[in-house]
Structure 1
Amino acid sequence: MTVELGDCRVDWLGYATVRIEGPDGTVVYLDPGRYGVLDDYEAGDAQLVCVSHVHHYDTDGIERVASDDVTVLVHEAVHHSETDRDVTPVRDLPYETRRVDDELDDLLGEVIVRTTAAYNHPDGPHTYEDGTPIHPEGTGCGFHLQLGDTRIFWTGDTDVLDGMAELPVDLLLAPIGGTYTMDREAAADLAEAMDPELVLPIHYDTFAAIETDAEAFAADLEGRGVPVALDE
């Protein structure tokens, strides 16, 4: 799924993997990999890779997109011991790697990068049987990027949180699959409040637990005057 907005081209490659190309040719990937979305994909064009939390930490995916001069941003809570997948420890990645929290505000190359909180509410529906949030506070982040004049927000795996609606956003990358993140109804309410130029829903239909009615999401938002791009 490809959209062009302002001076950026944005490709949703599946699950939570998004490629963004800015006006100067800078290429950014958000959460590359998992569930085969990068099988047979060997781009090697990323100047910046952003990893929101351990569930999206896929070192094979990073390797497939990383250029020789890539910078990899990884949330500070990501640790290889927190997953049963075969991943390289963050400290051993052969790239310039930087740990981030949810308060980053920096210029990296030609990209303004800000991070935001991303978590499930302890008293909300996205918890394990023992009541523990699937994504506890402090274990991940979202990424708010500005490339040229275009502001793009990937919320990360999260519920809707206080303050999100106030962020200036041109393109909202909204998770709509539910179960682990906000569902399509909550995402639609957030999108209406943010009023971006375009919404690109992601993180849905990859597997049964996050299947949803994306067409209903689009119809809901279009009825509120918010444009949506859907993968056909």
Structure 2
Amino acid sequence: MTENIEVFTQSSIKITDGENHIYIDPLGIKEEFCDADYILITHDHYDHFSPEDIKKVAYENTVLIVPEKMKAKALKEINFINKIESISPNQNKKINNLYIETIPAYNIIKPFHLKISGWVGYILEIGGKRIYIAGDTDKTKEAEAVHCDIAMVPIGGTYTMNAKKAAELINIIQPEVAIPTHYGSIVGNKNDGELFKENVKAPVKVELKLRFN
């Protein structure tokens, strides 16, 4: 059920649904794909909002979707995309043929991602499945209330949950499949994926998809 999901470095994700190519926080893109029907950005930190990488996946009909509080920045820096949409936390929105829900993404104590900033995680309905892309977040009450079939959560610590906290979240929301992100390069190490997997309880299946180069 996850053969249509790819995870590149950090939290750079590509989902293909048969009709659309959807990228979330593209980073470290090595080829000029130019096939993105939608690009979703969770927040404006350099490892999630990279104009250079967005340019590698965008083409003339691409829709860029960003949190409302960074729309002005996106309009200024992404002048090669004609359609830029904004979205806020706790919002349901249909953009063309893509249905999106947003979940607040923030730190509880740490100062790196403040709730007031309006950063988001996304739930996408694709192929009859609800896919949760958490963004940079801790184990918040909003994340604990998510209902999804596939959960993609950060595990590298420092700026987000670490592997054990992320596993605690997964054990609460119990998707069918959990895929860890945001480790092994800028933060965390390559073994965090295995630590996460060890702490996630059955029947949740863990898939390690992140590419390290």
Structure 1 counterpart of 2:34: 44
Say whether the 8 Å CA contact 1:142–1:153 is kept in structure 2: yes
The aligned counterpart of 1:110 is: 97
For the structure 1 residues 148 and 108, does the alpha-carbon distance in structure 2 shift closer, same or farther, using more than 3 Å as the test? farther
Q: Does residue 191 of the first structure (1) align with residue 170 of the second (2)? A: yes
Alignment of 1:1-232 (within 5 A): 4-5=1-2, 9-22=4-17, 24-33=18-27, 37-39=28-30, 41-55=31-45, 56-78=48-70, 89-90=76-77, 92-121=79-108, 124=109, 126=110, 133-139=111-117, 140-207=119-186, 209-211=187-189, 213-221=192-200, 223-231=201-209
Distance 2:195 2:83 in 1: 42
- Higher percent of residues as strand: 1
Gaps of 5+ in 1: 82-86, 127-132
Residues of 1 paired with 2:180 and 2:78: CA distance? Answer: 32
What residue identity is the alignment partner of 1:136?
L
3-state DSSP class of the match of 2:4? strand
Normalised by the size of structure 1, how large is the TM-score? 0.81
Q: Is the 1:74–1:99 Cα contact (8 Å) retained in structure 2?
A: yes
CA RMSD of the aligned region, Å? 2.1
Aligned residues: 206
Shift of 1:90: 4.6
Distance of 2:77 and 2:141 partners within structure 1: 30
Match for 1:96: what amino acid? K
Distance 1:164 1:75 in 2: 17
Report the Cα distance in structure 2 between the residues aligned to 1:190 and 1:99, rounded to whole angstroms. Answer: 27
TM-score (norm 2): 0.88
Question: How far apart are residue 57 of structure 1 and its match?
Answer: 1.2
- Which stretch has the larger CA shift, 194-203 or 101-110? 101-110
